Amino acid sequence: MTNRNQKGWRAENEVRKILEKLGYLVWKPTRTKFSSIDIFGLFDMIAVHPSYRMLWVQVKHKSSMSKKVKKDFETFYNKYIHPSNLCELTIWVRERGGAFVIHSLSEGIWKEKRVRVQKK
């Protein structure tokens, strides 16, 4: 049986690998044994692409997704992100069956798409 931390780490690593395959350079703070370190208290990792696109990424399980998370993202976006930046705030939500639903905030608008992950 896996605990919640192991599920979270596994999902984060899957997202990191997906982004790296898409050409992103991914930075994720080092975790300690007893705690995680979120960037600005919101994000699990930052990814940059040679096309200058930057992603701020949070990985969640469906059960932990809330309106408060989206509200916190909107507050951060409105305070620190200029609309002309090629910057996107993303929440990758793991669903049952292995798919991710990606909620992305860019240019002040929320968009949603689904990504299926191939199991080996």
CATH topology of domain 4-115: Trna Endonuclease; Chain: A, domain 1 (3.40.1350)
Using DSSP bridges, classify how beta strands 45-48 and 54-61 pair: parallel, antiparallel or unpaired.
antiparallel
Percent of the chain with pLDDT over 90: 46
Sign of CA dihedral 119, 25, 114, 11: positive
Q: Return mean pLDDT, the chain.
A: 85
Q: Output the pLDDT for position 1.
A: 44
Q: With cut-offs at 50, 70 and 90, classify the pLDDT of residue 15.
A: very high
Mean pLDDT of 89-110: 88
Percent of the chain with pLDDT over 70: 88
The rounded distance, in Å, linking the Cα atoms of 93 and 95 is 6
Mean pLDDT of 46-60: 92
